[in-house]
Structure 1
Amino acid sequence: MSAMPAVPAPLAAPLPRILTWSFGDLYTRVQQLYAVQMHALDAADFEGFAATFTEDAQFSYAHAAAPISTRSGIADHLREFRRRKFGDEPVQQRHWIGMINVEPQDGGTVKATHYTLIHTVHADGRPVPGPAAVVRDYLALQSEELLVRCRRITHDHRR
């Protein structure tokens, strides 16, 4: 299993507001963040997806040679990845997440881990299941909004 990337230094800044939420409230907010992300991603709204990250976020996964930084970098990379993978073919992807584990951290950040399964339906109606992945996030509160500060995705077939 891949280790979580080093936590960027700005995460050390205290964010005490998160620690005042009940665990149930925090868990609900994390679920809502992921729902907003997956709806944006499945609609190919890469700017909307990237807006759920901090401006200086780090995003790492198998299809990127190095961690991707910044919201615009994330949106640009995902748009180009989709173009390379599917070209002009109209496909519909659905990202299903589950088994969310939420761990409040010292300093007011949150470590969240979940499983994701991607299901793709091609224009001819042909469904293609997979891949499956583990997503490991560090979340931070900025301007009253819970955002992803650091994400690492490990596909099951690449462990």
Structure 2
Amino acid sequence: MSAARTRLPATRKRRRLYAVLAGLTMLGVAAALVLVAFEDNIVFFYSPTGLKEKSLRPGQMVRLGGLVVEGSVKKAADGVTTIFSVTDLNQAVQIRFTGLLPDLFREGQGIVSEGTLGPDGVFTASSVLAKHDENYMPKEVADALKKSGKWKQPNATPEAGK
């Protein structure tokens, strides 16, 4: 005769374990739903090198930051569109922006632009932000330059009396 298997009654520890596992599962599902809901609203920052390495879906909004390449700024025939290149000193990306550029926009200065990357590799910017003084570098741009090994510390102001 085979011994009949008896089912052990659920103990307190086992019930607590099931409750914790159910809670963690529900928390994971909730986190996944939040991430999916915000996926279209999250705008990631890329350097030119990072942007060229990443495959983006068409129309995905991203931020692109770097230094405006010397001699790259050109006005289109319509007088409103500006085409320029931005570099992280490794790679460069061409940007097309229609609108008024910030007063502080200059070649060799750090900028952050928001827009989409076209199939032709040209970044179409919907906004361009320029740094506001000669010692300021947007954090994202500074981090990208440090990561690429091309970071140069801005000139420090000499202390008084020296």
TM range (shorter): under 0.3
Whichever structure has more strand as a proportion of its residues is: 1
Length-normalised TM-score, structure 2: 0.25
Task: Tell me which structure has the larger Cα radius of gyration.
Answer: 2
- Which structure is higher in RCO with an 8 Å CA cutoff and minimum separation 6? 1
TM-score by length of 1: 0.25
